[in-house]
Chains A and B, each alone.
Chain A
Amino acid sequence: MNWSLFFGELVSGLTLGSIYALIALGYTMVYGILKLLNFAHGDVYMVGAFVGFFVLKWLGGPLAPAVTGWLAVAIMFTVAMLACGALGVGIERFAYRPLRNAPRIAPLISALGVSIFLQNSALLLWGPQFRDYDTFDLVGVKSYHIGTNFFISNVQILTISVSIGLTILLALVISRTRTGKAMRATSFDRDAAEMMGISIDRVISFTFFLGSALAAAGGIMFGLVFGQIFSLMGFTAGLKGFTAAVVGGIGSIPGAVLGGFLIGLTEAFATGYLPGGSVYANLYVFALLIVMFLIRPTGLLGSPVIQKV
């Protein structure tokens, strides 16, 4: 067995999975509360990557950042997450809220509309070309090895650990804070939550804020890991985040994380091991989605529709 290939794909799968998990979390949270598949989510992720890029530029660019590389990365994360959080809140406010009581197909179409709008705005404003994060210059990518076969770079460590850190933070917000509990209450029974005095609008805004901020973090991670971003990067990533959420069980937070890593690993190992994998990795990923739909439509950790008490 070629262990260095195995570990290489493992690490790259976990890295990809970290990004997909962050996207899937936003999908699953919004679905949990609104029963809406927010197809614009992948594009918010793309905008996050671009905000990160422009913050980097504003800081003097990857070659000569005004602050040390890692601090620049931290600022990119912070600004992009806040900006996309606000973008997500705005999208919900103007594209989904007016349709809250409309038939369920209406907000779905609105979501596709927002997605097309964001993609085309990005093409118009930023063009179709790749933009460089130049991670090598920015933070000086280093590779660490354990033994002879296991390699991992500092950027991969950063990606995986930031993703896990944000997930834990999110879990704490949802399980411990008053607003987080209100989110859970609202997603279980919106009318009952309203009858407790919970402002549903505010809970939904907060949900979009969190989900979009996480997507932005994912977008920046993509830029750091692959060194480049582009206007249409949100499309495939959005689909994979969606796949991850469904495979994990849409509506389930741990499911989104599990699904994200599963998709990332599938993609990486398909690339390394399966026939035609380097070209058709996505085929294997989406095949997983179809198989999941066939054998367990509720996803790995999704509950079969609970009867409300």
Chain B
Amino acid sequence: MLLRLDNVDTYYGQIHILQGVSLEVNEGELVCLLGGNASGKSTTLKTIIGMVRPRRGAVQFAGEEVSGRPTSYRIGKGMAIVPENRRLFGPMSVKENLEMGAYLHGGGTKEDFERVYSLFPLLYERRRQLAGTLSGGEQQMAAMGRALMSRPKLLLMDEPSMGLAPILVERNFEIIKEVHESGVAILVVEQNANVSLSIADRGYVLQTGRIVLSGAASSLIKDEDLRKAYLGR
């Protein structure tokens, strides 16, 4: 098992956000985490990567308890993230953004750049352009490329299709699939259940900080409760 959350409780100050969240991602698996607005999806990813610390529960990554470790340690161990809203470094060039993705690997080897550029040829064309001037679709590619620069074992993605035109959403998921097929485990957070379940192995549904549903993607996609989970809020 690559990632395991065991009964995680995360708070923002006094507010109890994640309540006993348990989930797993196996090596090479593509798992999606679904949930409506403010259900705690981003908080789950932040807990995994160490931007917030859980008050109780365990976060295990690659066979090690990491809940007391800083974010940089977890990135070094093989996590990478495409954060919500991409969070590119706007005043820096596309190439520099990619370098920051490989910060713990000396800024990236030639092979790292080649790998990312072959996945996103457009990024090569735009490499000298400031990231802040890219279009939405291009920014999504840059954010994904940046995360892949570190050769992660586990790629976390927070609503990668947010704000993209429908045609780009589809293209985006094709790329996610491609990355997954190259052997990277992926945990993707989405509000759009249909598209993400269609490519995922398994899925979890989060509702007000609790996992209310989980299972194989193929069965979730048919699940009546899933629709309820969304309509419920």
Question: A residues engaging B (CB < 8 A)?
Answer: 178, 181-182, 184-185, 188-189, 191-199, 306, 308-309
In the bound complex, do residue A189 and residue B89 qualify as a contact, i.e. CB atoms below 8 Å apart? Answer: yes
Point out the residues of chain B lying under 8 angstroms from A199, CB to CB: 70, 72
How far apart are the CA atoms of A306 and B106 in the complex, in Å?
29
In the bound complex, do residue B150 and residue A197 qualify as a contact, i.e. CB atoms below 8 Å apart? Answer: yes
In the bound complex, do residue A198 and residue B103 qualify as a contact, i.e. CB atoms below 8 Å apart? Answer: yes
In the bound complex, do residue B100 and residue A194 qualify as a contact, i.e. CB atoms below 8 Å apart? Answer: no
In the bound complex, do residue B87 and residue A191 qualify as a contact, i.e. CB atoms below 8 Å apart? Answer: yes
Could you name 13 residue pairs across A and B whose Cβ atoms are closer than 8 Å?
A: A178-B106, A184-B89, A185-B89, A194-B51, A195-B75, A195-B87, A197-B71, A197-B103, A198-B72, A198-B100, A309-B86, A309-B131, A309-B132
Point out the residues of chain B lying under 8 angstroms from A182, CB to CB: 100, 103
How far apart are the CA atoms of A176 and B51 in the complex, in Å?
28
In the bound complex, do residue B83 and residue A188 qualify as a contact, i.e. CB atoms below 8 Å apart? Answer: no
Nearest Cβ on chain A to B40's Cβ, whole angstroms: 18
A175 (CB) vs chain B CBs: closest residue: B96
Point out the residues of chain A lying under 8 angstroms from B83, CB to CB: 191-192, 195
Partner pick for B91 among A191, A197, A306, CB 8 A cutoff: A306
Take A181-B92, A195-B81, A196-B146 as given contacts and tell me if A189 and B72 are in contact as well, using a CB distance cutoff of 8 Å. no
Q: Beta-carbon contacts of B69-98 to A below 8 Å, as 1s and 0s?
A: 011100110000101011111111000100
Known: A185-B100, A309-B86. 17 other contacts (CB 8 A): A178-B99, A178-B107, A181-B92, A181-B100, A184-B89, A184-B92, A184-B96, A185-B92, A188-B91, A193-B100, A194-B71, A195-B75, A197-B76, A198-B72, A198-B103, A199-B70, A308-B87
How far apart are the CA atoms of A189 and B91 in the complex, in Å?
11
Nearest 5 A/B pairs, CB to CB? A197-B75, A192-B87, A197-B104, A197-B72, A196-B100
Partner pick for A181 among B70, B99, B146, CB 8 A cutoff: B99
